[in-house]
Structure 1
Amino acid sequence: MGAVKTRRMPRAVREQQMLDAAVQIFGRRGYMAASMDEIAELAGVSKPLVYLYLNSKEDLFTACIRREAGTLAEAVRAGVRPGLPADRQLWDGLRAFFAHTAGHPHGWTVLHLQARTHGERFAAEVAALRAEIVAFVTRLIAAAAREAVPPAPGCVRAGRDTRDGDLPDQEVTGLAEALVGAAESLAAWANTTPGVTSRQAAATLMNVAWSGLGALMEGRPWTPPAVDPAVS
C-alpha cells in the first residue's frame, strides 16, 4: 500500500480527525486489538503522523477518553435548565445522557467498557467523569427533598420527623450512586437493543427512580423484613 496522502489542514482539526477514527476503532475492536495502522488508515493520515501528534497508543487512548468524557459531561450540563423543578431537571439530564450515549455508541463503549478494564491510568480518567455526574445527581436529589411537600406539623413517619424535607447526606449520596450506576448499565443495554430510543431509556429509569424517591420523601420508605435468625 502506498503512502497516505494528506492535504494540509490546521493541527487541531487534523487531531480531532484522528481522535474520531481512534474512538471508532477502539469502540469496535477494543483497546488491545486496535492497531495504529487501522486508526491511521481510517483517519486518512500516515501512521507516523499519528505518533507525531499523539505520541503513543496509550496517549491516544487517554486523549480519546478525555474528549469523550468531556463531551458527555457537557451534553448533560447543557441539557439541564436551572430553575426548573428537581424532577424536570433530572428528566432533562437523563434525556441528555441517553441521547448522547445513543448518538456516540463507540465513545460510550470506550468510556464504559474499555477504559475501566485496561489499567489504572485509564480508569482514573473515567472515575473523574463519574464523580462529576454523581455530584450533579446528588444535588438534584437533595433539591428534590427540599421541594417535597411537608407533612402536617408534628407528623412523624417511619421513625423520623420529615417536616424539613431533608434526607441524610449519606442516603442522598447512596441514591445518586445507585441512579448513576443504573443509567450506565441501561445505556449499555439500550445501545445494543434494537428499537430502544433514548427517550424510552430515560423514561424507564425515571419511572423507577422518581416513583421511589417520591415515596421516600413523603416519609414512606420501603422497610426490609425482620431478619430471620435461622438465615445467616
Structure 2
Amino acid sequence: MGVVKSKRMPRAVREQQMLDAAVEIFGQRGYMAASMDEIAELAGVSKPLVYLYLNSKEDLFTACIRREAAALTEAVRTGVRTELPVDRQLWDGLLAFFTHTSLHPHAWSVLHLQARIHGEAFVAEVNAMREEIVAFVTQLIVVAAREAHRDPDLPEREVAGLAEALVGAAESLAAWANATPGVTARQSAATLMNFAWAGLGNLMEGRPWIPEAVGAESAPVQVSG
C-alpha cells in the first residue's frame, strides 16, 4: 500500500497565512524591526517561500496595507444600513469602524502608525483608503444636510470639512482605545457619536455655533441655510 500524500495547500490560502503572520509581526514590532525570518516562522513556511510569493519585505508590507485597508473599508460600508435615518447610519458606521479596529489591533497599527512613517509609497496606500472613507462619510452628512435644509443641490464641499474632522477623530480614538485596557468598541463609538452628533444635529437644524466676538470671515464652517 502506497503512502497517501497530503493535499498541497492552494497558493491563495498559503499567501493569506503569510499576510496574517506579517500583519501580526509588523503590528507588534514595527516595519523596520520586523524580520522575514520571524514572519516565515509564524506562518509555518520557509523564508524563501515568502520571497517567492511576495518578492520583498517592501512588497509584503504593501500587500498587508492593501488587504487591511480593503477589509476596514468594507467593514464600514457593510455596517451601514442606508434605509435608516442618518444618525443611525453614522452610529452603525462608527460602531463598525471601532469593532473592526478593536478586533484587529495589529492591522490598525499597520495602517494608522507603521504605514505613515516608512515612506511615501506606503503613505499613498493608506491615504487612498482614508479618502474612500471620508467620501463615504461626506455622503452620509450631505444627504442629511440637504434634507434638513430642503436644498437638494447643496454642494458636498459644504460638509467636506466635517467629514474630515470626524474621520480624523475616529482614527485617533481608535488608537487610544486599542492602547487603553477595558475600552470597548461600543464605548468608543458612543463617545464619538455623542461628541459629534451634538454638533452635527444642531448644524442640521440651522443652529451653528459662532463666537460672538469674531467677525464673519473667521466664523467656523457651517452648512448653508
Fold-level similarity (TM above 0.5):
yes
Partner of 2:77: 77
For residue 170 of structure 2, the aligned residue among 179, 183, 186 is 183
Partner of 2:111: 111
Shift of 1:147: 3.1
Question: Per the alignment, in what secondary structure is the counterpart of residue 195 of structure 1?
Answer: coil
Shift of 1:99: 0.2
Identity of aligned residues (%): 81
Structure 2 CA distance for partners of 1:205 and 1:167, relative to 1, 3 Å = farther
- The amino acid across from 2:193 in the alignment is M
Shift of 1:166: 7.6
- The amino acid across from 2:183 in the alignment is V
Give the whole-Å Cα distance in 1 for the aligned partners of 2:192 and 2:78: 20
Structure 2 CA distance for partners of 1:68 and 1:82, relative to 1, 3 Å = same
CA displacement, residues 87-142 of structure 1 (integer Å, 9 cap, x when unaligned): 11111011100000000000000000000110110000000000000000000101
Structure 2 CA distance for partners of 1:213 and 1:65, relative to 1, 3 Å = same
Give the whole-Å Cα distance in 2 for the aligned partners of 1:175 and 1:163: 19
Give the whole-Å Cα distance in 1 for the aligned partners of 2:187 and 2:54: 38
Give the whole-Å Cα distance in 2 for the aligned partners of 1:49 and 1:167: 54
Q: Residue 30 of structure 1 contacts residue 114 of structure 1 at CA under 8 Å; is this kept in 2?
A: yes
Give the whole-Å Cα distance in 1 for the aligned partners of 2:86 and 2:153: 14
Structure 2 CA distance for partners of 1:167 and 1:222, relative to 1, 3 Å = farther
TM-score norm. by structure 1 comes to 0.86
Shift of 1:169: 3.5
RMSD (CA atoms): 1.8
For residue 182 of structure 2, the aligned residue among 180, 189, 195 is 195
- The amino acid across from 1:13 in the alignment is V
Give the whole-Å Cα distance in 2 for the aligned partners of 1:168 and 1:52: 49
Q: Residue 142 of structure 1 contacts residue 166 of structure 1 at CA under 8 Å; is this kept in 2?
A: no
- The amino acid across from 2:35 in the alignment is S
Uncovered stretches (5+) of structure 1, i.e. residues with no partner = 1-5, 149-161
Deviating runs (4+, > 6 A) in structure 1? none
- The amino acid across from 2:82 in the alignment is P
Give the whole-Å Cα distance in 2 for the aligned partners of 1:112 and 1:105: 10
TM-score norm. by structure 2 comes to 0.89
Q: In the alignment, does 2:185 pair up with 1:213?
A: no
Give the whole-Å Cα distance in 2 for the aligned partners of 1:193 and 1:147: 39
Partner of 2:223: none
Q: Residue 145 of structure 1 contacts residue 166 of structure 1 at CA under 8 Å; is this kept in 2?
A: no
Q: Residue 138 of structure 2 contacts residue 156 of structure 2 at CA under 8 Å; is this kept in 1?
A: no
CA displacement, residues 11-64 of structure 1 (integer Å, 9 cap, x when unaligned): 000000000000000000000000000000010100000000000000000000
Shift of 1:78: 1.0
Q: Residue 165 of structure 1 contacts residue 217 of structure 1 at CA under 8 Å; is this kept in 2?
A: no
Give the whole-Å Cα distance in 2 for the aligned partners of 1:36 and 1:197: 33
Shift of 1:217: 1.6
Aligned residues: 210
For residue 158 of structure 2, the aligned residue among 171, 191, 213 is 171
Q: In the alignment, does 2:119 pair up with 1:132?
A: no
Give the whole-Å Cα distance in 1 for the aligned partners of 2:69 and 2:117: 16
Partner of 2:95: 95
